[in-house]
Amino acid sequence: MTDAATTRTNLLGLTPAELEAFVVGLGEKPYRARQLLVWMYKRWVGDFEAMTDLGKGLRAKLAEVAEVRPPEIVSEHASGDGTRKWLLRAGRSDGREQAIEAVFIPEVGRGTLCISSQVGCALDCAFCSTGAQGFNRNLETAEIVGQVWLANQRLGSGPGGERAVTNVVLMGMGEPLANYKNVVPALQLLLDDRAFDLSRRRVTLSTSGLVPQIYRLAEDTNVALAVSLHAPNDALRNELVPINRRHPIAELLASCWHYLEAQNGRSVTFEYVMLDGVNDRPEHARELAGLLAGRDAKVNLIPFNPFPGNRFRRSAPAAIEAFRDYLNSRGVTATVRRTRGDDIDAACGQLAGRVHDRTIVRLGQKRFGVEVEA
Ligand code: SAH
Ligand code: SF4
């Protein structure tokens, strides 16, 4: 990062209203902001010189005080199945390079980008590679939406001019609701028709269950909600998802049903990582069905993706299918997530980036007196 880069305003972090205020602050007419938005979000152009309808004077002024700066690419990997993963620079900390990851998953008729919200994660879930790395810092709004901007720019438009990224999931590194103040403006930019213009059903926030923030989110936005449940009772969930000791299952589910009601949402998706012999038995399926039957809930079973140094094993395919079939037989819609990009370590829970842990003691190791930043 150069000195100039740190003093210029990164326009990627600004909402359309903030961008307009910025442009007016430069002594320009408000419609200039609308022109800028078209360049930035309809054409994925970030170089002011290329924005030909802005006028020479304004282009020069912008180049001095502003920039459109997505995260810098450290490396790019392409999987045999079309999945792409970017390792992106997230600054330095104590002299060490920090990096996050974003993953693009192409499917017929849609392209899903999985983005990160923090450099690492403090919540320390037992089966998660990001958690094992520890926590360094929150990403800025510009860094969060910058991942989507960069992917659209890198991947280019389809033959009919359609955008590469049609869906965004906050399922990369980090706990999005622990970075509430930067994540909510990012969600607003993703939905805003003057910016990324994604429909609310195509933006999904996944959380391990920060209950107070789920209630706040119901007031502030209306994206789709996914919740990492992973266990059907508190004893087991306390072990797998340590934040459960602060916000147990009953409270978590109450916040989910509130979210649906407040948002007029269709359903909450519950993610459930399939760990051999740990949470994948018939009695777990029965208990889970007991929690969710009759509710607007879907279950997404995620075959565990192993990473070095972890003690868990992936459930056998037959166990996963039996689990799914049982839930479906109880009227709880359950699907199995297809593993994509595992040859480049881009599958769920395999995103490690490069994190230099700056927390003193992590949550799973008893940091419950400390509030997660909201
Ligand atoms: N922090 C948020 C979002 C990031 S994790 C959350 O926990 O929901 C995205 C999803 O990947 C979560 O459901 C998470 O539990 C799951 N996951 C983490 N590690 C995994 C692994 N090793 N294999 C499969 N899924 C994993
Ligand atoms: Fe953090 Fe989510 Fe990983 Fe848990 S599963 S450690 S909340 S990123």
- What's the whole-number mean pLDDT along residues 258-267? 93
- What's the whole-number mean pLDDT along residues 361-368? 47
The verdict on pTM exceeding 0.85 is: yes
Confidence of residue 349 (pLDDT cuts 50, 70, 90): low
Return the residue whose CA atom lies nearest to atom 6 of ligand 2: 131
* Token pair for 326: 């049982």
Alpha-carbon distance of 307 to 349, in angstroms, equals: 8
Residue 124 CA: nearest ligand 2 atom is: 6
Return the residue whose CA atom lies nearest to atom 1 of ligand 1: 175
Helices 141-155 and 180-191 meet at what angle, rounded to 10? 40
Could you tell me which residue, 113 or 266, shows the higher pLDDT?
Answer: 113
pLDDT tens, position by position, 121-177? 999 999 999 888 899 999 999 999 999 999 999 998 777 778 899 999 999 999 999
Alpha-carbon distance of 6 to 8, in angstroms, equals: 6
* Token pair for 148: 């989507």
Of the listed ligands, the closest to the CA of 271 is 1
- What's the whole-number mean pLDDT along residues 256-264? 95
pLDDT tens, position by position, 276-314? 999 999 999 999 999 999 999 999 999 999 888 899 999
Alpha-carbon distance of 53 to 35, in angstroms, equals: 8
pLDDT in the model for residue 6: 62
Candidate from 271, 274, 275, 307 with most ligand 1 atoms within 8 A of CB, to mutate: 271
Report yes or no: 67 and 5 within 8 Å, Cβ to Cβ.
yes
Return the residue whose CA atom lies nearest to atom 4 of ligand 1: 171
Alpha-carbon distance of 355 to 124, in angstroms, equals: 13
Residue 241 CA: nearest ligand 2 atom is: 4
Alpha-carbon distance of 208 to 128, in angstroms, equals: 11
Q: Where are the domains of the chain?
A: 9-67, 81-371
DSSP secondary structure letters along 287-315: HHHHHHTTSSEEEEEEE----TT----BP
Of the listed ligands, the closest to the CA of 171 is 1
Residues with catalytic annotation? 101, 348
Distance 348 CA to ligand 1 centre (A): 6
Superfamily in which the 81-371 domain is placed by CATH: Aldolase class I (3.20.20.70)
Residue 227 CA: nearest ligand 1 atom is: 8
pLDDT in the model for residue 292: 98
Q: Is the CB of 302 under 6 A from ligand 2?
A: no
| Fold for the domain defined by 9-67 | DNA polymerase; domain 1 (1.10.150)
Name the residue with tokens 């266990």.
231
Report yes or no: 219 and 262 within 8 Å, Cβ to Cβ.
yes
pLDDT tens, position by position, 65-100? 999 999 999 999 998 888 999 999 998 877 888 999
- In angstroms, the Cα distances linking 261 to 265, 271, 296, 333, 373 are 7, 20, 10, 19, 26
Report yes or no: 215 and 227 within 8 Å, Cβ to Cβ.
no
Q: What is the DSSP letter of 334?
A: E
Of the listed ligands, the closest to the CA of 119 is 2
